[in-house]
Amino acid sequence: MADKYINETGLQTVKQWIKNTFALDSDLDTLSERVEEIISEGGEPNTIDSITVNGTAVTPDSNKNVALTVPTATSDLTNDGDGTSNFATEAYVTANGGKIDHIQVNGSEQSIANKTVNITMPTKVSDLTNDGDGTAGSAFATEDYVDTNGGKIDTIKVNGTSQTITNKAVDITVPTKVSDLTNDGDGTAGSAFATTDDVDDAIATAVASAYIYKGSVASVADLPSSGNTTGDVYDVQATGVNYAWNGTAWDALGTYVDTSVFWTSTTGQSNTLVAMTVAEVTAILEA
């Protein structure tokens, strides 16, 4: 189809249509002048003959649509940098530095997997090698230094007895009451504590000259003949006299007086006292 131009007759038609359509004469005059200017410059219909992108022709589809591919990621671009421009090529980095080929930690080569390096960093003292010697300026002392110069405890003893160390812990039993202690006192001057035997002996000595009441029996014949301790005392009910054990026999601690032979006053009798004869007194004493 050949290109078509607006001739003078067509222009007059357009101007008449515009004039009939719009009310403002000034607008019509401006539009008319612009159209005439386009015609005078060889203007033609607003038609695109071809489209190129970076020098490459792009063909419209059947619907007159043009699909342009616009980069959306770095990988869509070609890197033409040389290190002096915004981007450096891989070749430039390899030749001039910037690309890491090897990673070492303390001289040991580290593995690189999927551009990732997992470096193990110490997180506790046991992860470190102790190279100290315990001298001034050395941060840490070695085990050998401590063994030689002191500071490390190998054995813990209590009163000469080695204690068991479990998981670096020592459970020392400390006495909390007197019964936990062994009493080695002898009761003598300067001895802090007296033994039970010391106390018993002291008590026995203190009460050796004292009487200890043990009870009462019906008669002298009923006093125990064995199992007695010096100072044991019994009351004999028949006589009312107390008897004490002297270590070998019973001693009367008093004299029994039979008052039944004494004179008593009887109703109707004379209260006149009559002297006793020698024979009567002798009979009383020999009774």
How many whole angstroms separate alpha carbon 155 and alpha carbon 168? Answer: 11
According to DSSP, residue 170 is labeled E
According to the model, what pLDDT value does residue 223 have?
93
* Rg of the chain taking only CA atoms, in angstroms: 69
Per-residue pLDDT tens for 97-148? 666 778 888 888 888 888 788 888 888 877 887 777 766 666 677 777 777 7
Distance from C-alpha of 141 to C-alpha of 151, rounded to nearest angstrom = 10
Three-state DSSP class for residue 269: coil
pLDDT, position 219: 92
Low-confidence ranges of the chain (pLDDT < 70): 1-7, 10, 17-28, 38-39, 41-48, 81-86, 88, 93, 97-99, 134-139, 151-152, 185-192, 207-209, 256-274, 287
Residue 29 CB neighbours (<10 A): 12
Yes or no: say if 83 and 70 are a contact pair by the CB < 8 Å rule: no
Tokens in use for 270?
């004379």
Q: 244: closest CA among 213, 222, 221?
A: 213
What pLDDT, on a 0 to 100 scale, did the predictor assign at position 1? 46
Task: Give the separation between CA 259 and CA 284, rounded to whole angstroms.
Answer: 11
Contact 252, 236 (CB under 8 A): no
Per-residue pLDDT reduced to its tens digit, 28-57: 677 777 777 766 766 655 566 778 888 888
DSSP H helices, 165-271, are 196-207
Cα–Cα distance, 100 to 96 (Å, whole number)? 11
pTM of the model: 0.26
Q: What's the token pair of residue 245?
A: 């054990």
> Number of C-alpha atoms within 13 angstroms, CB side, residue 122?
9
- How many residues belong to the chain? 287
Beta bridge partners of 243: 234, 252
CB 134 within 8 A of CB 144: no
**What is the rounded CA–CA span in Å between residue 239 and residue 216?**
11
Residues 6+ apart with CB under 8 A from 194: 183, 185, 186, 187, 202
